[in-house]
Amino acid sequence: MESMPKPSMESDDKLHIVMLPWLAFGHMIPFLELSKLIAQKGHTVSFISTPRNIDRLPKMPPNLAPLINLVKLQLPQVEKLPENAESTTDLPYDKVKYLKMAYDQLQQPMTQLLADMAPDLVIYDFAPYWLGPVAAKLGISSVLFSIFIAASLCFAGPIPVLKGEDDRTTPEDFTVTPKWIPFKSNIARFRLFEVKRVFDDVTSVDDENIPATYRFGAGIEACDVLAVRSSYEFEPEWLKLLQQIHQKPIIPIGLLPTTAYDSSDNGEAWTEIKEWLDKQSKRSVVYVAFGSEAKPNQAELTEIALGLELSELPFFWVLRNRSSVADTEVIELPNGFEERTKERGVVCTSWAPQLKILSHDSVGGFLSHSGLSSVVEAIQCKPLILLSSWRTQG
């Protein structure tokens, strides 16, 4: 963190840094991992979220807990937002916009909190696009931390494009390399079937809410530094291009693999899973999991299940048949699937310790939804089989 802007103080002074992630666990967990890295340098972190989300975060390592203050900020109630809904995992996709409305009402209490805390630095997510100007008025340096890699941010475009001046209006427009990317790359474009899955998310303008792209544009415009979940070893050309596009300092902070701490070793759940994995041959098991919020539709789920069955490979499948507790569109496995595969497969419908499963010698591959956190966890130890462009809640 030494290259981030600092107030005028002695170089050996410790900083107080405020973190404000968006209310999705795919955002909160990387922000928490970054908080741990900052705390390891001896700095103090105030990690801010809503009460229910704070209570659901992983346990903090004992050596870092004194330096990471978990601050609970009450989420305002808005019409159409279900009671006790404080994260995207609590909501079906079409209700997430009301969570963003409630989140935007945190501007005034966050302003007061920053004034009272007087931190040296605030690190914020794409959603609180209003926080950069607030920090500037209070004389606080600011960093927008993107959990998305530099290639994704380059594809999204410069600030005017993010804020609405985008001439890409059809799905086909997103299947070619944007004009601001000067080199050829298959990364810098969608395949048509992929973009059709997310086209409404990319281009829609909702009268009830601020588009995600606008939030990113305004947030980047107002920050002093743009931090990216990436590294120069991973995507050097994209990080250099990102700096050219936005003309401000870019800090790649690494891929932030999860370092969850749990003194109970995950208890009975892991014991039972490990017993089953121990019985399987080395590198024979396909681990299947699509994250906490991505969800296939019924036709996709059926095809995945039948494909696993035809493969005749042992598998461990962590299956979420609904994207949230409020999701009424429950998906189901094909009739007889579990009975036909019970000798070589496990379908787990509850929580499972993904890092421990991926690290087990019997697991030979990971079938995933392409979420960056899952990809980062897997590339440390296992080959990946990726399904892309499933709509998530972030």
Enzyme catalytic residues: 27, 125
Please work out, in degrees rounded to the nearest 5, the angle formed at the alpha carbon of residue 242 by the alpha carbons of 173 and 163. 55
Count the alpha carbons within 13 Å of 119 in the hemisphere toward its beta carbon: 27
194: Cα separation from own chain's centroid: 19
DSSP E strand boundaries for 84-140: 121-124
CA separation for the pair 320, 331 (Å, rounded):
9
For residue 247, what are its two tokens? Answer: 């003309």
Instruction: Provide the residue type at 171 as one letter.
Output: P
For residue 274, what are its two tokens? Answer: 């490990």
Pairing of strands 315-318, 16-20: unpaired
Please state, as a whole number, how many other Cβ atoms lie within 10 Å of the Cβ of residue 32.
Answer: 24
Asked whether the beta carbons of 345 and 326 are under 8 A apart, the reply is no
DSSP state of 50: -
Question: Given phi > 0 = left and psi -120 to 50 = alpha, else beta, which region is 42?
Answer: left
282: Cα separation from own chain's centroid: 31
Q: Rounded to the nearest 5°, which phi and psi values hold at 199? A: -60, -40
Measured in Å, how far apart are the chain's first and last C-alpha atoms?
Answer: 26
Instruction: Provide the residue type at 301 as one letter.
Output: L
Asked whether the beta carbons of 88 and 194 are under 8 A apart, the reply is no
For residue 380, what are its two tokens? Answer: 């440390």
